[in-house]
Each structure stands twice: as C-alpha cells, then as structure tokens.
Amino acid sequence: MKTVQIAIDGPAGAGKSTIARLVAQRFNYTYIDTGAMYRAITLKAMQSKIDLHDENAFDFIDQTRFDFNNGILYMDDNDVSDLIRTRAVSNHVSLVSSYFTVRHKLVERQRQMADQQNVVMDGRDIGYHVLPHAAYKFYLTADVLTRAKRRFSENQLRGIHSSLEELVEEIKSRDAFDSTREHSPLRPANDAIIIDTSAMTIETVVLTIETKVREGEYYGV
Ligand code: CDP
C-alpha cells in the first residue's frame, strides 16, 4: 500500500509537535513523534543505569516496543509522555541521538510505521533522511526567545519547573549540538517548505500546512 507521508522538521520548540498533532487530526493520520522515541530510549538507558557515553550499550532498542496511539508514545506498553520531558532526559537526549547505532535502529522503526499507515512524522531528519520520498515536507523554525517562551508555557502546564533563562540556554545548546553532529544533523530537506512561525498563531501554521496538502491532493501528488 502506498501511504501518505507528511514530514515536519525543525529545531527545539519550533512548535513541531503541537502542529504535527493537529495536522494529523485534520487528516485522520497517525502522528509519529520521533523526538519522543529518542527521549524514550534515553529514559530507558538512564533507568537501566547504562553508561550513556558507551555507544555500544544500546542493543536493548531491538527488544523495545514502540506504539503511538492518539499521538501518545507507549514504550513497552507504558505511557512515558511525562517521564520523557524531564530536564534530565532533555539534557542527555542529544548525546544519545548522536550515535549512529541508535539512529539506525530507530529510523528503521520509523520507516516501518510510515510504510504501514498514513503519517505525520516530526523530527530533525525526517524530510531528507527518514522519509526522503514524503509527498509533503515542512521545516518549522522560530527565533530562540520565542521558542524558549513556548517551552516555558508547555513546561508550566506539565508541572515541570524551569526558568526562561535555563530554557534559552538548553535550546541554544541543543540546537548547536543537533546541527553540527556527524550523523543526520538538523537541517531542512532541499525540497522542504520553510515556515518561520515566530509571529504566527498555531492555527495559522496548521492552516498553511493543511492548505498545501489539500492542494497536493487536488493536483494528485
Ligand atoms: O520537542 P523538542 O523540540 O524539545 O525535541 P524533541 O523533538 O523531543 O527531540 C529531542 C531530541 O531528540 C532533539 O534535540 C534531538 O537531539 C533528538 N532528535 C533527533 O536527533 N532526531 C529526530 N528525528 C528527533 C529528535
């Protein structure tokens, strides 16, 4: 079966997950949050007390189950939504996701999911690496302060304490690390539509993406 794939990439806090979730609802597609998968693996590694600096210690991924239901990631049948958003996980996820073996294993799972159903998939490398043939590719960005403020409000809702200054620093350092790493660094695909969301509401961004996809459907993309 040929599935429809909508790829959404961008840096931390650009609004990817909120937007991707809403776009998925509009089209009744499955939302796959690949960042949540990297976070979940980081969480599992920390809980198992494995050495995060040992790239060869991640074979446990092969025995790990991932399911997305209504945009929520279940790892080994457990809802890990809250546990994967803690500062400890945020501070280590870039390291873990820089490993080739980790990426290779997770990208394989992501491609399998996108082969089986229509998806909206968000991440850092979806448009140019995970799903290079996706019919629709978007790259969301926004200035650092806007992104930190959004993350601040999100964290407040989740009951996670963090100051705006800390979030600016976290976002800057994750951006720098993610963009300069050797394997699949953060970057837009050559054929992605770039959207600067700094001065846009969520609804306007969703509508921009929805309109492009409906145009594509109309012209038989
Ligand atoms: O939500 P936020 O923008 O904070 O990040 P995320 O999407 O949850 O991703 C967390 C981290 O996972 C990123 O900073 C990247 O280091 C890594 N990641 C990645 O390497 N490749 C992806 N496709 C998705 C996330």
Mutate to test the pocket of ligand 1, among 5, 17, 86, 93 (most ligand atoms within 8 A of CB): 93
pTM score, whole prediction = 0.93
Cα separation, 216 vs 45, in Å, equals: 41
| Structural domain for 27, as ranges | 5-215
- Using alpha carbons only, give the angle 140, 175, 199 rounded to the nearest 5 degrees: 35
- Residue 221: inside a domain: no
Extended strands (E) in the chain? 5-9, 30-33, 66-69, 72-75, 78-79, 119-123, 136-141, 193-196
Q: Is the CB of 124 under 6 A from ligand 1?
A: yes
Q: Is the CB of 123 under 6 A from ligand 1?
A: yes
Cα separation, 20 vs 72, in Å, equals: 12
Q: Are strands 72-75 and 66-69 parallel, antiparallel or unpaired?
A: antiparallel
CATH number of the structural domain spanning residue 150: 3.40.50.300
- Residue 96: inside a domain: yes
Q: Is the CB of 174 under 6 A from ligand 1?
A: yes
36-86 pLDDT, tens digit per residue, is: 999 999 999 999 999 999 999 999 999 999 999 998 999 999 999 999 999
Structural domain count of the chain: 1
- Residue 220: inside a domain: no
- Residue 200: inside a domain: yes
Ligand 1 atom at minimal distance to the Cα of residue 36: 8
168-220 pLDDT, tens digit per residue, is: 999 999 899 889 999 999 999 999 999 999 999 999 999 999 999 999 888 87
